[in-house]
C-alpha cells in the first residue's frame, strides 16, 4: 500500500461527511482537529439548542473519557472519536444505548465480515477483545423531563494494538479483524447511517430491546458484576425492557438481582466471545 493511499485512508473527508446526508443523525457535523472531549463539546452545543442528530467529531481528544471516568485510548488519524446529540422522548431514553451499541456492532460486522457481539451494557467486542466503547449521558430539563442525550463513541478503526502494550491483550480494531486498513470516512458514514435507521425506529415507537438482547454475549454466562462497593456473582439470565441486567445469584437462595449499571467480568470457565 502506498503512502498516498495510506494518507487517503487516514484522512477524514469532510466534504463527503457533510454532503448528501439525509435523515436526522449526522445531518449536521461539527469537526475539530483537536478537542478536550467530544462529549463535553456536544453537551455544550446541545445546551445552546443544537439540533437533534448533531455530530461532533475530533481527530484527537486530549481529555477523552469512557465509563467510570476512565481514559479512552485513541490514536489521531487511525481511529474515530465522536459524539451525537439526540432529543428522544423521555420514555424512549432507555433505547438510546441499545441503538448505539447495535449500530456499532452491525457496522463492524458489515465492514469486516466477522462476528461482533455486545458485552453488557455497551462495549462492542470482536474475537473476545474490545473494539469500541460507548458512553451515554442524559440532561434533564429544568421544568422536568428529558432535555437531550449525548452518545459518545470511541471506535478502533486502524489501531495497531501491538503498538500499545497496556491494551494489546484486551483491544482489537476493525483493521485487525478485516486484515486491511479501512477508510475512516466510510466507517463513520456507515455507522451514522445505521444509527440514524435505529433512531428513526425508536422515534416511530419500535422497541429495540428484543433485538438488542439477542446480540448480548454476556447472557447465559457466569459473571461478577461490580458497582460502587458491591459485587454480585451469578448467571446473567437476561435483560429487562429497560436494558438492566438480570442476575441469578449463586447460593442456596438463588436471589434474582436487577443490575442497572456496573462492570461485568466473566468468571473462569464461562466461555468467551467468538
Mean of pLDDT over the chain: 88
| Domain identity same for 152 and 56 | yes
Number of domains forming the structure of the chain: 2
Q: Is the pLDDT of residue 109 over 50?
A: yes
Q: Is 121 left (phi over 0), alpha (psi -120 to 50) or beta?
A: alpha
What cell does 90 get? Answer: 423521555
Asked if residue 257 and residue 155 are part of one domain, the reply reads no
Coil, strand or helix at 262: coil
**Least confident interval from 9-13, 173-177, 243-247:** 9-13
**CATH, residue 50:** 3.30.930.10
Q: How far is CA 114 from CA 26, 211, 214, 274, in A?
A: 26, 19, 17, 9
Chain segment 47-58, per-residue pLDDT in tens: 999 999 999 999
Considering the domain architecture, whether residues 126 and 79 belong to the same structural domain is answered as: yes
In whole angstroms, give the CA distance from residue 155 to residue 120.
17
Q: Measuring CA to CA, which residue among 77, 37, 31, 35 is closest to residue 54?
A: 31
Q: Does residue 252 share a domain with residue 207?
A: no
What are the pLDDT digits (tens) for 183-212? 999 999 999 999 999 999 999 999 999 999
Q: 197 and 115, same structural domain? A: yes
Cβ–Cβ under 8 Å, residues 195 and 84: yes
Whichever domain contains 239, its CATH number is 2.30.30.100
Query: What is the model's pLDDT at position 52?
Result: 97
Based on the fold, state whether residues 17 and 101 are members of the same structural domain: yes
Expressed as residue numbers, the domain containing 259 is 222-266
C-alpha distances (whole Å) from 141 to each of 21, 46, 51, 138, 149 are: 29, 12, 16, 10, 11
Report if residue 272 sits inside a domain.
no
Q: What pTM, to 2 d.p., does this model score?
A: 0.89
Amino acid at each position: 500500500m502506498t503512502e498516498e493511499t495510506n494518507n487517503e485512508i487516514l484522512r477524514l473527508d469532510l466534504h463527503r461527511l457533510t454532503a448528501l446526508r439525509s435523515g436526522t443523525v449526522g445531518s449536521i457535523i461539527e469537526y475539530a482537529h483537536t478537542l478536550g472531549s467530544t462529549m463535553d463539546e456536544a453537551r455544550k452545543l446541545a445546551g445552546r439548542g443544537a439540533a437533534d442528530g448533531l455530530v461532533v467529531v475530533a481527530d484527537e481528544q486530549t481529555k477523552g473519557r469512557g465509563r467510570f471516568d476512565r481514559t479512552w485510548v485513541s490514536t489521531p488519524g487511525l481511529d474515530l472519536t465522536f459524539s451525537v446529540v439526540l432529543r428522544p422522548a423521555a420514555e424512549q431514553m432507555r433505547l438510546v444505548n441499545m441503538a448505539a451499541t447495535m449500530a456499532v456492532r452491525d457496522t463492524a460486522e458489515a465492514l469486516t465480515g466477522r462476528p461482533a457481539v455486545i458485552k453488557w451494557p455497551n462495549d462492542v467486542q470482536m474475537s473476545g477483545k474490545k473494539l469500541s466503547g460507548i458512553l451515554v449521558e442524559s440532561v434533564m430539563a429544568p421544568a422536568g423531563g428529558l432535555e437531550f442525550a449525548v452518545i459518545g463513541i470511541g471506535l478502533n478503526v486502524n489501531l495497531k494494538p501491538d503498538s500499545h502494550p497496556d491494551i494489546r491483550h484486551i483491544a482489537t480494531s476493525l483493521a485487525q479483524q478485516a486484515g486491511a486498513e479501512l477508510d475512516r470516512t466510510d466507517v463513520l458514514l456507515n455507522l451514522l447511517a445505521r444509527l440514524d435507521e435505529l433512531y428513526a425506529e425508536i422515534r416511530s415507537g419500535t422497541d429495540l430491546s428484543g433485538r438488542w438482547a439477542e446480540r448480548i454475549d454476556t447472557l447465559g454466562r457466569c459473571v461478577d458484576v461490580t458497582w460502587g462497593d458491591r459485587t454480585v456473582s451469578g448467571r446473567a439470565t437476561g435483560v429487562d425492557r429497560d436494558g438492566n441486567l438480570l442476575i441469578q445469584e449463586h447460593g442456596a437462595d438463588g436471589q434474582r438481582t436487577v443490575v442497572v449499571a456496573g462492570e461485568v467480568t466473566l468468571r473462569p470457565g464461562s466461555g468467551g466471545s467468538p
